[in-house]
Amino acid sequence: MDEQSNNLTSYRNTSRRQLFQTVFDHVESKTDKPAECESTIKLLKILNYFKECVFNLFLHENSCNTSQNANNVDSKNFYHALENSWHNVPQCCTEPYILKGYPLTNMPWRYYIKLLWIPNNEMLNIWTHLIPFFYFIWMLLNFNQELDLVKTWPLFLVTICAIILMGCSSFAHMFHSRSCFYHRSWFLIDYIGITAFAFGSTVTHFFACAEVSYYNSFGWYNLVILTLICCAGYLCFTISKVGKVTVDKARSLKLWSNGLGYFHGLLPLFNRFYISEDPVIYYHKVHILCMLFAPIWYAADIPQKYWPGRFDIVGHSHQIFHVFGALACYFDIQAVYSDVTRPNGHWAALETQGDYPSLQLIGTFSFLLLTFCFCLFRYCLKFIPPLGECQRSNQCICASFCSFNITELLQDSKSKIDQENTKLL
C-alpha cells in the first residue's frame, strides 16, 4: 500500500490526463477480473469510482498552497493576470469555475491598487461597488443640502450604511488576494459592511416605511430585535470564514442565516403591500427583487458553471451579484427618500408616535453593533493562519480536501474491490 502511495505521489507534477491513465491502468492490471460480462461491468464501475477520487484529489491537493509556477508570471506584463490560473493561488482566494485571471499573491500593496485597471477577475468586482460608493456619497451631499438629516435620520442612516457597504466591499476585493490571511481578514471587514447595511436598511423599514399599526405592535423594541439579529448574522459570517466548515456549508450558512434575518426586516413592507397601494411601493418592490436576485446569482455560479473559463474576467456570477446588490441599495435609498419627503406619508405619521426613537438612540445602537462586530473581528484574527498562506489545517475552509490523502483513497478503493470480488465468488 505504501509503495502504491509513493508511486502516485511521484506523478503530482504530471498532467491530469497522465495521472488518470497511470492510476487506472495500474489498478486494472492488479485486479483479477472475472470472465463474466456482468462481473466485468461491476468492477469497471469500481475502477471508475477510484479514478474519480484520484482526479478530485489531484484537483485540490495543492490548492491551499501557492504553486511554484506562479513565479513564472511576470507582474510587469499588463496582461499577466490572464496567465495566472486557479492552482497558483490559495484555495480560499479562488472562485468556483473561474480558471484564470487571478492576481498574484504576496505582492507589495501598491500592486493590488493596480487591479483597478489591469485585466483580472477582481477588476469589475471592485468597480461594480466603487462607482456606487462615490455615487452614494454624492447623493448624501445632495440630501444634506435639501433636508435636515438629523431630523430625517432614516434617510441618513440607510445612505451612510450603503456607503459603508460599498466601500468595505471594494477594498476587500482589491486587497484580499495578497494571501489567505488577508483574504479572510478583508472579507471579515466586508461582512461588517454587509451587517451595517442590513441594520440600516431594516431599521428604516420599521421606522420610516411601516404602517403605524404594524409599528405599534413592537414600538421602539424593534430596534433591540434588529440589533440582535444583525449581531447573530455577523457571527454566522465569521463562522463561515474561519470556522471548520466546507465551502458549500459556508455559503449556505451565510445565505440562510442572513437571508432569514433580512426577511424579518422586510415584514413591514410586506404588510404595507397587503394593506395599501401608493407610488412609493414601486421602489420597495424593485429593491426587494434586486435583493432576491443577488444571492441567487451568487449561489448558482451562473454562467461560468456551464462555460468554465469563458467568464473569468467579465460576466461571472460574483460581478452580477454585485450589480444587483448595488441596485438594491439604490432603490432602497430612493424608497426611503420618497417616504421621508412625501407629505402625509408613512414617516410623517410614524415620527409623531410617542416612543419614536431619536438619532441619538439610533446612534447608540449602531455604536453597540459596530463595537460587537469589531471585537468579534479582532477575536477571529487569532484563528486565521498567520503565515499569509493557506495551511493544511482544520482551520482551512477547504479542510475536507486537504485532509484527503492518497493512502486513505487506496484503502477505500481496495476494500470496495475486495467486497465486489467476494460477492462474485
Residue 97 is placed in which grid cell? Answer: 469555475
> How far from the centroid of its chain's Cα atoms is residue 379's Cα?
20
Integer Rg of the chain from CA = 26
Instruction: Count other Cβ atoms within 10 Å, centred on residue 423.
Output: 9
Give the separation between CA 100 and CA 82, rounded to whole angstroms: 6
Establish whether 346 is an annotated binding residue: no
Establish whether 176 is an annotated binding residue: no
What b/e readout covers 248-261, taking b as 16+ CB neighbours within 10 angstroms?
eebbebbbebbeeb
CA distances in angstroms from 205 to 31, 258, 331, 359, 407, listed in the order given = 67, 16, 13, 15, 56
Residue 379 is placed in which grid cell? Answer: 477575536
Q: Helix axis angle, 317-341 relative to 180-207, nearest 10°?
A: 30
**Amino acid, res. 54:** V
Give the separation between CA 143 and CA 184, rounded to whole angstroms: 35
Q: Check if the beta carbon of residue 417 is closer than 8 Å to that of residue 46.
A: yes
CA distances in angstroms from 271 to 159, 253, 258, listed in the order given = 24, 27, 20
Establish whether 322 is an annotated binding residue: yes
CA distances in angstroms from 161 to 155, 197, 201, 292, 376, listed in the order given = 10, 5, 8, 19, 19
> How far from the centroid of its chain's Cα atoms is residue 247's Cα?
10
Give the separation between CA 322 and CA 287, rounded to whole angstroms: 14
DSSP H helical ranges for 37-117: 37-60, 109-113
DSSP H helical ranges for 208-246: 212-215, 221-242
- The CA-CA-CA angle for residues 50, 52, 56, to 5°, reads 120
Residue 361 is placed in which grid cell? Answer: 438612540
Q: Which residue has the cell 482551512?
A: 396
Among 87, 32, 65, 56, CA closest to 409: 56
Give the separation between CA 342 and CA 100, rounded to whole angstroms: 50
Residues annotated in the binding site for Zn(2+), as ranges? 173, 318, 322
Residues annotated in the binding site, as ranges? 173, 318, 322
